[in-house]
Structure 1
């Protein structure tokens, strides 16, 4: 009986996948993230398919090592794998380096560390101080708080919290992961001008049809383009799909996020270079699991693992910041259009100077 071989593309400067033996149990499927040996180290890659697999030479199975196991994250979709292949072919970059951009949150592939909090567990301590009184006044009877947040809210140092834990007044618990807020497409009903209504209606014709289209939203600065494409995003949210807003990193400001929150009653998931590794891992997983409904991010947000992306908006599409000029060189605006073509979803290009 011939042993099943598993082609695995690794996030390295590789032109083709490496073959591995499947090992015992059910073999992993295309798109699965797997842990494999490489030299004297372990690496995480993706089980690959398509032209890259068809063009590389066969290897004697007896010389191959086995897949160590699957990684507990959602598989990379067929669309994402086709997108990697297309970008690699167009930019002449190794496919493994394009995949690396899709795996840009290494901690997302590790078991999430538990977040510890504290809650009321016993009577007040025998020795009460003003600082301890403030903590007990803030914490209440039923809520679990993160230590850092409780200390900040009560205006005390973490040592005060630790002392109350030692006294048995508070106890440490594992906190459940906080869900991301879900944008509500009907949270606010914006008052649009007649020109905005006409533009929004034109965009809604495209979001209503699950097929590729590219629309240019042209208007001078301050003309209300953002409110217009927010209507298209609202329509995608009503369909239960995901949306991506690309912005030049310098334009990803608190003001924009506030405008989004005023329209949808929740902040979007953010993706940019200033995020901590822990936050990057959280957002990466939320996108892959479909929990993050709207992502607002810089050009690299295009390479997140969306399972059901229904719309891409490229705001300030004329901005040169969409060009990446190291490693994999690409223009995010153009690649967004390609993603829409491959995935059969609309793309909106917004600009005052197209």
Structure 2
């Protein structure tokens, strides 16, 4: 047992700090503890043990106490996070804080009772309330005095089970169960322990089991190659390049099933929260409820409970967005990065990292298989495959044998006005939408600008209404009566007069998804039009809109990049891209690559069912 521990703290210093362990206590690597630090009180993580303080250090503070019963990070995950911190030259304490679940509020209460925290004081960081349940354990002691009838009944149940939760006992003997257990504990017949209870997020939700479809030849080759790597139990990295609709998800499912049969866990990373519900439904249909879902749209408690169930080994499969990379999946065997080309895998605030690159590192450290999947792989990944760092596996055809959609480029110089008179709803697009609606088919229109209009400009002086902090034009959001900055989220009501010259001549300039939705609803009434972008995608709205589309309750879906990524929408036969070349003008060296990826991905939403797409 070590007398001192090294603690990584969430401060911008690339070093650990040594603390004394209280007498009779011991802390495992990865444990989260409370410590005093330079007139502050912080939560940190144990990253090392030592028998003596560093040379020359005379005064060493004492650890106040642990915040959880078990270490937050298992050894394998702690070592990976340490390497990630060194790779990105970021303080380990801040990396661990970013990866860890929220602080349990119950621990704050214990620290107040112990005198470390004052009343109303809390450690910095996110905190979440935990649900505690009282458990009774039967001891070896025998009753020396006569027991009451309810005490006898409780003891008989404990003799059978050895352990019983208060809630279960209350169901058996009634509301006096707590008092009965306390009386038995006083006699030494039982020991009582409060323990955190973790809920099943899928409780009461039906599962529609499905039978795995038969794989085509290309899928079989990919699955067998990945299974071989699993059996070898050595790290292997693959780039799965499959056209849109080629059945990449089915390949993932087969490989994950093989890993689970070998007692190994799996992690699936997706770029968008919008993709999570559909994937979770498919995974539940194949694997049941043993899935942890981790993304920022969930409540703090839901994410915390999923994380802790993984840590305890109750779950072995995690699905989530970028931050799910740090999930404590037990005995990790497979990591899948779906739509690996997507820029949202890059974290650009706080601890900055690229989830795709870190997935490769984590898989290598864990001796796991890493699969990067995409219809439009990033240039880096494709180059990695050419150089042999990744093994390239191809799915060149759609799983349904349906051909890829026809792509028609419409030159706006030749089609200045369609039948509608709107300069962006050209004749070919207008006719295509009408034909699809008459056939009972669905359409997606993609415009990579949210809001009603990108700016409000003055007709007299030409100035735009700008953000006072960012000096960029404010976007009009007419539905909520606001102008917004898409950089800092500054908001203001639309001014009656131009802030520059005072003229009452302000008008919206340009087109956004909100205006496009309104225009389509007017042009193609009574068609049902819905919108999917950052303004509408709150909470469970994304899942609700996509479900309505799959059930035929939406005829035209308007959206930004959210509609381009991985959705399987069999009823969609027409995809229209408004201002398809606008992203080529972005001041970004990847503008050409990103434009190709966006166009190829959104085109791939068409024709995924029985009817061909365009």
Matched, 1:247 2:273: no
Preserved CA contact (<8 Å) 2:77 2:328 = yes
Cα pair distance change 1:258/1:321, threshold 3 Å: same
The match for 2:310 among 284, 287, 301 is 287
Aligned-residue offset at 1:284: 1.6
Aligned-pair RMSD on alpha carbons? Answer: 3.3
Deviations for 1:63-114, whole angstroms, at most 9, x for unmatched residues?
A: 1111122331335222222222211122121111111122142238847224
Partner of 2:364: 341
Give 1:35 shift. Answer: 2.6
Deviation of 1:227 after TM superposition, in Å, equals 0.3
Are 1:107 and 1:277, in contact at CA under 8 Å, matched by a contact in 2?
Answer: no
Equivalent residues of 2:5, 2:19 under 8 A apart: yes
| 1:300-350 deviation digits (Å, cap 9, x = unpaired) | 011123342221100000111111111221111001001112222111111
Q: Which runs of 4+ in 1 moved over 3 A?
A: 39-42, 56-59, 107-111, 170-182, 186-190
Q: 1:267 to 1:259 in 2, by over 3 A?
A: farther
Q: Is the 8 A contact 1:260 1:267 kept in 2?
A: no
Name 2:82's counterpart in structure 1.
85
Which residue of structure 1 aligns with residue 13 of structure 2?
14
Q: 1:215 aligns with which of 234, 238, 250?
A: 238
Match of 2:61 among 53, 65, 72: 65
Counterpart contact for 2:273–2:297, Cα < 8 Å: no
Q: Within 2, Cα distance between the matches of 1:276 and 1:310? A: 28
CA contact (8 A) 1:74 1:288 kept: no
Greater RCO between the two (CA within 8 Å, min separation 6)? Answer: 1
Scaled by the length of structure 2, the TM-score of the pair is 0.44
1:46 partnered with 2:22: no
Structure 1 CA distance for aligned equivalents of residues 202 and 69 of structure 2: 23
Q: Measure how far apart 1:8 and its partner are.
A: 0.8
Task: Show structure 2 runs of 5+ residues with no match.
Answer: 108-128, 135-166, 168-173, 179-195, 378-614
Which digits, 9 at most, give the CA deviation of each residue in 1:237-287, with x for residues without a partner? 112221100000244242222222222233621111111111122012112
2:354 to 331, 343, 349: 331
**2:375: which partner in 1?**
352
Which residue number corresponds to residue 29 of structure 2?
A: 30
CA distance in 2, matches of 1:37, 1:208: 48
Measured against aligned partners, the alpha-carbon deviations of 1:209-248 in whole angstroms (never above 9, x if no partner) come to: 2221101111001010100111110011112221100000
CA contact (8 A) 1:290 1:308 kept: no
Question: Which has the higher mean CA deviation after the structures are superposed, 305-314 or 249-258?
Answer: 249-258
Instruction: Tell me the alpha carbon deviations over residues 154-197 of structure 1, each in whole angstroms, 9 at most, x when there is no partner.
Output: xxxxxxxxxxxxxxxx9799996445779x9x984432222211
The answer to whether the 8 A contact 1:247-1:297 is kept is yes
Residues 45/196 of structure 1: CA separation in 2 closer, same or farther (3 Å cut): same
TM-score (ref. length: structure 1): 0.74
Equivalent pairs, count = 294
Higher normalized helix content (fraction of residues):
1
Structure with larger Rg: 2
